[in-house]
């Protein structure tokens, strides 16, 4: 048995060590073959002693899976061992439907941190936000547990409840009770916004297997409505498939690099470029990001930013610049391991840094400082004449407001009005569209001015022939029509 165990561990070790790509403060000191063999003997010895001396009956499978999980967890927060059940659940999640709370988490110095909740899920409805820390699940501490262990505690039969202890920045710990549900992920939502419905709004909540198809359908529908431009909202989007992020970027680009992934070796570089064909026809694009925008979201924001295709607005993104891959082990289990870092077209690695917005717009609450009507006006004078029509209108407004339910939920328009980042993004799209229209108008005017004047018809007379036309010695305009700089 010992020999078999040593051989199994030895066969698995090269795959793990080859994939490790975590930056370290000091160069890695590699072991010799003899030293590796001695360490593997020690591992087997620990297993034998622990199994034989533990006070209760030892679960050998649990022990070995724990050893593999610890081995991968020592590499970085995103590498892990996936038992058969976890690997099956991971595959189901990747195809758009899975059970749970709808929350993306990561390991942070022994604690569990929320990357982002997924839209319209129990976690999002309970008010859990990006950056929150989860300290307890059903009153059990989660410190120093693996992510898989924490995820297992959160999952359960749909309809059952789970209690989480959550700490938000600068606030006291709070307890929230969530009801587990089947999470059906529709990653793309879209609509027209603005008073004139001319802003194309596209919300991508995560990057899954159906994202590309859903995005193309969204753009096609919005283009038919002749929108002025687009707000692409990837706030609190925790990421997903790299291929989906590439396809989303490509939909807005006509050319240029999208992303490069770089592995362990210097030669392990894979660059991806956009194919011809901007589905939005070059219309203005604003990308909204925040600290909950991670991984694939950052690829899209970085690609459109570096190619000059979009203006990125919001706050600094999460900073997850690594690529993970599942490597099945042949028995239904797998390892989830970091295989590369990704870089934006300009060569930026956003690992631990994130994407810096072109215009920082922190989520804020608008406070009106100027009144609609000055306190010093004709209406402020004593015994001033009243405007009967205006008074009736004001009374009608008061009656309407008093009849409304004060506790009624906010409408979509009211929610949009309170979303400061969205409002600034929409304003920017309008400004960009107006500038582009102005440049086009100037270009057309220049082209008309440079066109040769039409020769007037020659006047006929019976009495006297017309004199020969005097040739002008002035040169014709040689200044070419001004080219539009609209991209």
Residue 431 pLDDT exceeds 90 = yes
Q: What are the C-alpha distances in Å from 207 to residues 58, 186, 233, 294?
A: 41, 10, 13, 11
Whether the predicted pLDDT of 5 surpasses 60:
no
DSSP letter (8 states) at residue 410: P
Q: Which two tokens stand for residue 245?
A: 């992020």
For residue range 271-317, what is the model confidence (pLDDT) as tens digits? 999 999 999 999 999 999 999 999 999 999 999 999 999 999 999 99
User: Which spans in 74-160 are helix H?
Assistant: 84-94, 122-125, 147-154
Confidence of residue 155 (pLDDT cuts 50, 70, 90): confident
The reported pLDDT for the residue numbered 17 is: 35
Q: Can you give the pLDDT at residue 43? A: 95
- Which uninterrupted H or E stretch holds 248? helix 242-252
The answer to whether 72 touches 337, Cβ cutoff 8 Å, is yes
What tokens does 199 get?
Answer: 């802003």
Domains of the chain are: 2-86 (no CATH), 98-184 (2.30.42.10), 188-360 (3.90.226.10)
What positions carry a catalytic annotation?
295, 306, 320
pLDDT-derived band at 472, boundaries 50, 70, 90: very low
**CA of residue 12 relative to chain centroid, distance:** 34
Instruction: Report the distance separating Cα 244 and Cα 92, nearest Å.
Output: 17
* Helix-helix angle 60-73:2-19, to 10 degrees: 20
Query: What mean pLDDT comes out for the span 141-148?
Result: 81
Containing 124, the helix (H) or strand (E) segment is helix 122-125
**Please, are residues 433 and 234 in contact by the beta-carbon 8 Å criterion?**
no
Whether residue 18 is predicted with pLDDT greater than 60 in this model: the reply is no
Burial 411-444, CB ≥16 within 10 A → b, else e: eeeeeeeebebbbbbbebbbebbeebeeeeeebe
- Cβ neighbours, 10 Å, residue 262: 18
pLDDT for the residue numbered 461: 44
When pLDDT is cut at 50, 70 and 90, the band that residue 223 belongs to is very high
Neighbours of 125 (CB within 10 A): 14
The predicted structure's pLDDT at residue 144 = 72
Whether the pLDDT of residue 176 is over 90: the answer is yes
Task: Tell me the average pLDDT across 138-162.
Answer: 85
Find the mean pLDDT for residues 53-71: 94
Q: Tens digits of per-residue pLDDT, 100-128?
A: 898 888 888 778 999 888 888 899 999 99
pLDDT of residue 92: 65
Q: Which of 141, 140, 137, 131 has the alpha carbon at shortest distance from 108?
A: 131
Name the average pLDDT for the chain.
82
- Is residue 185 scored above 90 in pLDDT? no
Tens of pLDDT, residues 383-418: 666 767 766 666 666 665 555 554 566 777 888 888
Q: Which two tokens stand for residue 80?
A: 């892990």
**pLDDT of 402:** 53
Whether the CB-CB separation of 214 and 187 falls below 8 Å is answered with yes
In this prediction, residue 427 carries a pLDDT of 95
Lowest average pLDDT, out of 137-146, 244-253, 321-330, goes to 137-146
């Amino acid at each position: 048995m010992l020999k078999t165990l040593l051989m199994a561990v030895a066969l698995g070790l090269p795959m793990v060590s080859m994939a490790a790509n975590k930056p370290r403060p000091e160069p890695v000191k590699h072991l010799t073959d003899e030293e590796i063999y001695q360490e593997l003997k020690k591992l087997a010895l620990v297993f034998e002693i622990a199994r034989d001396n533990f006070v209760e009956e030892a679960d050998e499978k649990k022990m070995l899976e724990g050893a593999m999980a610890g081995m991968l967890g020592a590499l970085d927060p995103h590498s892990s061992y996936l038992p058969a059940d976890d690997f099956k659940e991971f595959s189901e999640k990747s195809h758009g439907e899975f059970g749970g709370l709808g929350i993306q988490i990561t390991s942070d110095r022994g604690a569990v941190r929320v990357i982002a909740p997924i839209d319209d899920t129990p976690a999002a409805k309970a008010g859990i936000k990006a950056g929150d820390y989860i300290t307890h699940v059903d009153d059990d501490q989660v410190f120093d547990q693996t992510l898989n262990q924490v995820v297992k505690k959160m999952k359960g039969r749909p309809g059952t409840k789970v209690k989480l202890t959550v700490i938000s920045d600068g606030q006291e710990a709070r307890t929230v009770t969530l009801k587990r549900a089947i999470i059906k992920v529709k990653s793309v939502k879209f609509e027209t916004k603005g008073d004139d419905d001319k802003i194309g709004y596209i919300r991508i909540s995560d990057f899954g297997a159906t994202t590309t198809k859903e995005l193309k359908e969204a753009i096609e529908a919005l283009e038919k409505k002749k929108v002025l431009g687009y707000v692409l909202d990837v706030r609190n989007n925790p990421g997903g498939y790299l291929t989906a992020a590439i396809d989303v970027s490509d939909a807005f680009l006509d050319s240029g690099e999208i992303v490069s992934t770089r592995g362990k070796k210097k030669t392990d570089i894979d660059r991806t470029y956009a194919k011809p064909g901007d589905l939005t026809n070059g219309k203005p694009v604003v990308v909204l990001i925040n600290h909950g925008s991670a991984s694939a979201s950052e690829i899209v924001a970085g690609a459109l930013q570096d190619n000059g295709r979009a203006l990125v607005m919001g706050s600094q993104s999460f900073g997850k610049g690594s690529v993970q891959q599942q490597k099945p082990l042949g028995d239904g289990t797998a390892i989830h391991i970091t295989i590369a870092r990704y870089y934006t077209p300009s060569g930026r690695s956003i690992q631990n840094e994130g994407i810096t917005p072109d215009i920082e717009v922190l989520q804020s609450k608008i406070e009106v400082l100027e009144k609609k009507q000055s306190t010093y006006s004709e209406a402020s004078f004593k015994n001033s004449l009243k405007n009967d029509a205006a008074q009736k209108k004001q009374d009608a407004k008061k009656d309407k407001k008093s009849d409304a339910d004060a506790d009624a939920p906010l409408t979509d328009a009211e929610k949009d009005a309170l979303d400061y980042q969205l409002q600034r993004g929409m304003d920017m799209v309008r400004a960009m569209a107006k500038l582009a229209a102005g440049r086009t108008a100037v270009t057309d005017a220049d082209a008309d001015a440079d066109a040769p004047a039409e020769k007037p018809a020659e006047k006929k007379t019976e009495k006297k022939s017309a004199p020969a036309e005097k040739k002008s010695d002035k040169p014709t305009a040689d200044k070419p029509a001004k080219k539009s700089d609209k991209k």
